[in-house]
Amino acid sequence: MLGARATLCLLLGIAAVIGGGGVMLSRREEQVRHERDREPLMRCASVFQEELDRLGVLYESHLRVVALNASTEVFVIRSEAQRVAGIVQVSVLDPTSGDAARSRGGGPGTERGAEGLHVTVGANPGVRIPMPVFSPPRPWTVRTPLILDAAELLGSGARSGWRTEPAWPLVYWQAVSPRELVVMLLDRAVLETVVTDHLRGMSEAFHVLHWENGAERLRSRSGAEVFSNGAVPGFAPDLVLPLRSRFGDWDLLAWDPRTTRVVYRTGVLVGAGVAAVLVAGLGLILYVQGRRARVLASQRVSFVNRVSHELRTPLTNILLNLDLAADAQEVEEEARPLALVREEVRRLARLIENVLTFSERERRGLRARPGACCPASVVAAVVEQFAAGFERRGMRVETEGLVTDSLLIDGDALAQILANLLSNAEKYAPGGPVQIAMQWDGARLWVRVRDHGPGIPRAAWERVFEPFERLSDHVRDGVTGTGLGLCIARDIARAMGGALRVISSEGGAVFELELPACAVPGMLSVA
Ligand code: ADP
């Protein structure tokens, strides 16, 4: 059982855990978005868009130069084309007949035929590069045809233009003369890489963002990063500004700054608070009740103690006078009632002595007061107290090996232990002999008290020493008791540095008392 203070501490601890747990459970962190000024982002996007437009115009002018030069020689076509990034093939077609345009020169990477002159650029011309033609494909055409409609291209009076179809390379065409139309196929990936590198060099354009809180990123649709600023979060951007060009698409992504705000869920907080207060309140109530019960118990003990004290003095006087009266009786028949009264008064005195010892034990613990004492004399005195009672119950005491040396031992304590053991033998084993055997080895004294009653079952060997423990508590058994005798006997033995235990026997109960006992220095053995 926990004491009142321990219970209070435990419940206060539980209340604190509930309270703390409630605070933790109700706590929630919220991200708060602070929308930033969009203006710098827009300006930055327009700077890049203008640059992309400028690059588009510039690139187209380079392509025009290549196309105009393409009408001369094949090697000139190739060397011109190699100076402009992204060109993978230059074809010279005749829009009037669908046949090849005039051809001058040839060599590897050059195809000449009815479809036109096709010059691939670069060391490893891709096999997937299509072949621009005006006429419908012929069955033996090896490469995939990219069919162009001359009327559609030139019909509006245009001299140059673009064809952008996702499945094909980028196409730029330029009419050089009525019978020569140059078609250039451009590698989108190369163009995107070149432009991305170019944009990376424009670091000053990013400064319009003023590096506000938050994060920005500029990257191509295919994932090539141009720049990023701030810790780019893993979630979707708050603003996407698309940048378009012939070379590909880029996105300026922006994230607004965020701060973390802690909020508490009031429901959980209030619930946990109420539970914590209830548990703490319960602890306080139990503590107050426990204190009250303790005060009440100690008042009872002190009352019993005081009453016992009050009874002890008159009982001692009664015993003294009874002894005197018994001695004065000459006729044995007349002395018998007196002996009976003396026996009952002694029993009462023993009971009061046990109660006082128990309250002493509760208050400050028992302490032995060793002195010179002859164990044999103590046994004789205690046995003498029980003589009349034993005789009436047909019991006799047999002693063996009584130690007659003077030992350093608390004689009163030894007498109280023996009296309690003999009192039990008288109550629980009437009609049989009681043996008291003693042994001393110079340092320790053993006293065994054996009776021939019902004995104590092994399972109860320890329990019988607990305070107020009785194996049978029915008043109608005829054997009454307080359940204190053995408890006090063991506590006294322990206070003397010894032990009291039940030991196994074939019939009846055997108690073994073991005490430290050395010889009193300078005393001679009497026996
Ligand atoms: P009390 O005798 O007042 O009941 P004790 O502490 O002396 O209390 O004994 C505790 C219990 O142990 C007794 O109630 C009894 O049941 C058992 N007991 C003690 N001594 C003996 C014995 N010699 N023989 C059988 N039972 C015993």
Which residues line the pocket of ligand 1, CB cutoff 6 A? 420, 424-425, 428-429, 451, 453-454, 456, 464, 469-472, 481-487, 509
Whole-angstrom CA distances from 167 to 96, 128, 171, 246 are 27, 11, 11, 15
Specify if 8 maps to a domain: yes
| Strand stretches in 256-337, DSSP E | 258-264
Residues 77, 175 within the same domain: yes
Are the C-beta atoms of residues 31 and 233 closer than 8 Å to each other?
no
409 has a pLDDT exceeding 80: yes
523 has a pLDDT exceeding 70: no
- CA-nearest residue, atom 11 of ligand 1: 470
Are the C-beta atoms of residues 497 and 367 closer than 8 Å to each other?
no
Specify if 200 maps to a domain: no
Residue to mutate, 466, 471, 505, ligand 1, most ligand atoms under 8 Å from C-beta: 471
Are the C-beta atoms of residues 374 and 445 closer than 8 Å to each other?
no
**pLDDT tens across 306-333, in order?**
888 888 888 888 988 888 887 787 777 7
Stated as kind and residue range, the H or E segment containing 295 is helix 266-328
Q: For residues 370 and 496, what is the distance between their CA atoms, to the nearest angstrom?
A: 8
Residues 379, 486 within the same domain: yes
**Final residue of a structural domain among 362, 380, 399:** 362
CATH of the domain at 7: 1.10.287
Q: For residues 119 and 107, what is the distance between their CA atoms, to the nearest angstrom?
A: 9
Residues 294, 439 within the same domain: no
114 has a pLDDT exceeding 60: no
**pLDDT tens across 456-505, in order?**
999 999 999 999 888 876 544 667 788 899 999 999 999 999 999 999 88
Taking residues 243-271, report their average pLDDT: 91
Least Cα distance to 432 among 455, 416, 400 occurs for 455
CA 283 to chain CA centroid, nearest Å? 26
Specify if 225 maps to a domain: no
How much is the pLDDT for 203? Answer: 72
Residues counted in the chain: 527
Residues 413, 502 within the same domain: yes
Across-strand partners of 515?
445
Can you tell me which residue has the tokens 């946990």? Answer: 272
Residues 291, 311 within the same domain: yes
Specify if 245 maps to a domain: no
- Number of domains the chain is built from: 3
How much is the pLDDT for 104? Answer: 42
How much is the pLDDT for 300? Answer: 80
| Ligand 1 atom showing the smallest separation from residue 425 Cα | 23
The residue type of 189 is A
Specify if 454 maps to a domain: yes
Residues 353, 391 within the same domain: no
Residues 381, 516 within the same domain: yes
- CA-nearest residue, atom 7 of ligand 1: 485
Residues 513, 376 within the same domain: yes
Residues 345, 372 within the same domain: no
Query: What is the average pLDDT score of the chain?
Result: 86
Residues 182, 109 within the same domain: yes
Question: Ligand 1 centroid to 471 CA: how many Å?
Answer: 7
Burial class (CB in 10 A: 0-12, 13-18, 19+), 143: middle
pTM over 0.85: no
Residues 435, 378 within the same domain: yes
Across-strand partners of 170?
186
The residue type of 202 is M
**Final residue of a structural domain among 186, 203, 229:** 186
How much is the pLDDT for 211? Answer: 56
Distant-in-sequence, close-in-space partners of 282: CB < 8 Å, separation ≥ 6: 11
- Residue 506 or residue 405, greater confidence: 405
Structural domain including 419 reads 366-527
Stated as kind and residue range, the H or E segment containing 42 is helix 39-69
Specify if 405 maps to a domain: yes
Specify if 211 maps to a domain: no
Stated as kind and residue range, the H or E segment containing 147 is strand 145-147
Residue to mutate, 420, 486, 492, 513, ligand 1, most ligand atoms under 8 Å from C-beta: 486
Least Cα distance to 192 among 86, 54, 90 occurs for 86
Residues 268, 121 within the same domain: no
- CA dihedral (34, 37, 43, 44) in degrees, to 10, reads -30
How much is the pLDDT for 339? Answer: 81
Taking residues 50-57, report their average pLDDT: 94
Residue to mutate, 470, 473, 488, ligand 1, most ligand atoms under 8 Å from C-beta: 470
| Ligand 1 atom showing the smallest separation from residue 451 Cα | 23
**Final residue of a structural domain among 326, 342, 362:** 362
Q: For residues 173 and 95, what is the distance between their CA atoms, to the nearest angstrom?
A: 12
Question: Ligand 1 centroid to 470 CA: how many Å?
Answer: 6
Least Cα distance to 118 among 77, 153, 158, 179 occurs for 77
- CA-nearest residue, atom 19 of ligand 1: 424
Query: What are the helix (H) ranges across 402-517?
Result: 411-428, 485-495
Question: Ligand 1 centroid to 369 CA: how many Å?
Answer: 27
How much is the pLDDT for 103? Answer: 43
Specify if 160 maps to a domain: yes
Encoding tokens for residue 407? 């030992």
